[in-house]
Structure 1
Amino acid sequence: MDTPLKSRSFDPSSWPMLVLFVAIHLACFAAIWTGVHWSDVALCVALYVVRMFGVTAGYHRYFSHKAYKAGRVFQFVLAWLAQSSLQSGALWWAAKHRDHHRYSDTELDAHSPRQYGFWFAHLGWIFNKQAQAVDYERIADFAKYPELRWLNKYHWVPGATLGITVWLIGGWSALVVGFIWSTVLLWHATFCINSLVHVLGRQRYLTGDDSRNNWLFALLSLGEGWHNNHHYYMASARQGFKWWEIDITYYTLCGLEKIGLVSDLRDPPAHVLDGSRALSAEIKERVAQALARRFSPDHIVYRMQKRWAELHGGQAIADWRRHWAEQMASRREQLLQNVHAELPSLDQLYRTARRRFARTPAMEEIVARARELIAHAVVARLETVPVHA
């Protein structure tokens, strides 16, 4: 898994899955013939909410992040409920999600809109063999349970069982409206956390990725839309950090804790809530690189050329190239000092950082590192600088 995607191409072996995926979407239109009854709509809403809880409380907060504890029987119930959403096995889902956090919005994140575009991040990666690949060593803590390995292998069983049960009890209209409609809605609400909630919303915390908080998707996903909160402190069972950030999954888990089905719900500590948590060196470097990319080294080199030409005229460009060739032959530290005079000021970098990123006590360090990265990029351009007319 630890390699960037070689391409975003469709994997031919995914044809059966693609056909089934499209068929289930098209089956939604069968309601034209089966009819739509209020009882079917109520069933659709109920199955959406219950299975979304399985996705967020099971797949995500329990298996992916171990944000609370559950007994062996109830963890199997959580896996079964989550897999009734037809989003593959709990072990696969959690291992893949751990990769997402480890590499979030880098080239190693298979469903990053920044790296691979909206549609691939939303659903295209599902049909790409390399993007689908997962390292089960990531989930060794849960893979030790044989019942979970069995359920992961036969991941379609819970969803198929639920669909057949709905059909036997409610008939074709219940199957189409109650089960199929809610399944498709579940899919896209879940996919939107990977795609849209890394594009739309606000960042309260600096996480080094594009995660956002989005109240609309928080409601649709029972709390998952507080995605920037979650990326800042992923171990928390509570993702709505403020009192007004509705997190239905967390409220439900609190209820389950009271009756003894789960325990040890992890909440964010005070230094997380107030944003003073120390950032890792990796995140600071990633943010500094993102800030540095906002300033084109080519544009800085061109501006340096233009200023030299205005001051010296005549053979200015040739003289300018000779000047920097001599600088290249001297000590690199001196060269960097000369280049620093041409860079954006610290104030400019701070203003850009404040517009682009969430606040953090580490911003001074990040800005200084970004300026250093820009300097090195400019020096690299000077080694092979193009001549502008």
Structure 2
Amino acid sequence: MAQADEPGAGHVPFSDVYTVPKRNLFGRDWNGTDLYYTAFIGGMHLLALAAPFTFSWDMVALFFGSYFVTGCLGITLSYHRQLSHKSFTTPKWLEYILAYCGVLAVQGDPLEWASSHRYHHLHTDTPLDPHSPYEGFFWSHMGWLLDNRATMERVSNRSNADDLESQWYYRFLRDTYGWHVAAQLAVLFLAGGLPAVVWGGALRMVWVWHITWFVNSASHCWGYQDYDTGDLSKNNWWVGILAFGEGWHNNHHAFEFSARHGFEWWQVDMTWGMVCLLEKLGLASNIKLPTERQKARLAIKRPAAGAA
């Protein structure tokens, strides 16, 4: 845990998180992966700036549709709750379709994503966590993606995802991942020209990237805790809305196996709604939820109003 009096320590504004960066963004050796990621991520950000010049209501619809498909169905429903945490099961054909939606989010192949995320839960907010805000808000948000050497020291052993490695489909997506990214952009161009590439490609990618990254950064800095998890995870309402329920992050860290993150009626969790819909359609089973006894065991006991 970072201490305020350590050399180089900083403070995340409006939070109780003190930071001690362990790696400099600049003034270090950049390997080929760092340069590639920076060029691609930076390029998509620049291309997204063309959105005002390619605007149409059809493109707005494309943006929101692809935001839902890649962000909700792909990242939160598939990559996170199904593949990383096995919180529910579906028929294989549906599991594979949902995982491909995640590929279209351009956040890595399913095996890589699930493995890195499992390391995050194994080492949350410790020096082995790939993206703890103790190393700086920017590091937890996206800096860890731009420092391949430091990140691979923590997540390079993919044996924690042998359940995915054993399936031909996930090996195929890992080995051909770049082609799927390129094909997506090509299809968008053929379907709608440059405007579709901007709105359904670059702008949507950048939007979903930052929302996913805010779960790692903002939801470990700002919000509140209902459960004693021993880490920085917070319930953050605005991340909860934008990330389809992922912002109820303290709930998630308390019960990482749970298919539901928003435990209260007002904790909006669209991804849980999708799980419920699949269950009603007979397409989801083995849905895992914490019991009331489990929640009571970890619940933070707060003094009653008016207590001394």
Equivalence for 2:178 = 156
Q: TM-score, normalised by structure 1?
A: 0.67
Shift of 1:58: 0.9
Residue 276 (1) aligns with residue 218 (2): no
Bigger RCO of structures 1 and 2 (CA < 8 A, at least 6 apart): 2
Q: 1:41 aligns with which of 60, 72, 78?
A: 60
- Give the whole-Å Cα distance in 2 for the aligned partners of 1:36 and 1:134: 41
Q: Is the 8 A contact 2:76 2:246 kept in 1?
A: yes
Shift of 1:32: 4.9
Equivalence for 2:162 = 140
Q: 2:78 aligns with which of 46, 58, 81?
A: 58
- Judge which range, 92-101 or 45-54, deviates more: 45-54
Shift of 1:88: 0.4
- Give the whole-Å Cα distance in 2 for the aligned partners of 1:245 and 1:82: 24
- Give the whole-Å Cα distance in 2 for the aligned partners of 1:216 and 1:124: 22
Residue 359 (1) aligns with residue 301 (2): yes
- Judge which range, 9-18 or 48-57, deviates more: 9-18
Segments of 5+ residues of structure 2 without an aligned counterpart are: 1-20, 303-308
Segments of 5+ residues of structure 1 without an aligned counterpart are: 279-357, 361-389
Equivalence for 1:172 = 194
Shift of 1:37: 0.4
Shift of 1:10: 5.7
Shift of 1:173: 1.0
Q: Deviations over 1:354-374 (max 9, x none)?
A: xxxx439xxxxxxxxxxxxxx
Equivalence for 1:308 = none
Q: Please show how residues 1-389 of structure 1 align to structure 2 within 5 Å.
A: 7-8=23-24, 9=28, 11-13=30-32, 14-33=34-53, 35-53=54-72, 54-114=74-134, 116-128=135-147, 129-132=149-152, 133-273=155-295, 275-277=296-298, 358-359=300-301
SS at match of 1:94: helix
- Give the whole-Å Cα distance in 2 for the aligned partners of 1:244 and 1:81: 28
Q: Deviations over 1:302-358 (max 9, x none)?
A: xxxxxxxxxxxxxxxxxxxxxxxxxxxxxxxxxxxxxxxxxxxxxxxxxxxxxxxx4
Q: Is the 8 A contact 2:51 2:203 kept in 1?
A: no
Between Structure 1 and Structure 2, the one with more helix by share is 1
Shift of 1:29: 1.9
Q: Is the 8 A contact 1:59 1:82 kept in 2?
A: yes
Q: Is the 8 A contact 2:249 2:261 kept in 1?
A: yes
SS at match of 1:156: helix
Question: What is the root-mean-square deviation of aligned Cα atoms in Å?
Answer: 1.8
Shift of 1:49: 1.5
User: How many aligned positions are there?
Assistant: 274
Identity in percent: 35
- Give the whole-Å Cα distance in 1 for the aligned partners of 2:130 and 2:244: 24
Equivalence for 2:5 = none
SS at match of 2:128: coil
- Give the whole-Å Cα distance in 2 for the aligned partners of 1:135 and 1:214: 31
Q: Deviations over 1:7-57 (max 9, x none)?
A: 355632221221111111101122354x20011011111111121111011
Q: Is the 8 A contact 2:71 2:102 kept in 1?
A: yes
Q: Is the 8 A contact 1:88 1:156 kept in 2?
A: no
Shift of 1:122: 0.7
Q: Is the 8 A contact 1:92 1:134 kept in 2?
A: no
Q: Deviations over 1:234-263 (max 9, x none)?
A: 000001111221110011111112223322
Shift of 1:228: 0.1
SS at match of 1:239: coil
- Give the whole-Å Cα distance in 2 for the aligned partners of 1:15 and 1:77: 31
Equivalence for 2:13 = none
- Give the whole-Å Cα distance in 2 for the aligned partners of 1:10 and 1:205: 40
Shift of 1:277: 4.4
- Judge which range, 177-186 or 229-238, deviates more: 177-186
Q: Compared with structure 1, are the counterparts of its residues 204 and 16 closer, same or farther at alpha carbon in structure 2 (3 Å cutoff)?
A: same
- Judge which range, 254-263 or 81-90, deviates more: 254-263
Q: TM-score, normalised by structure 2?
A: 0.84
- Structure 2 letter corresponding to 1:179: G
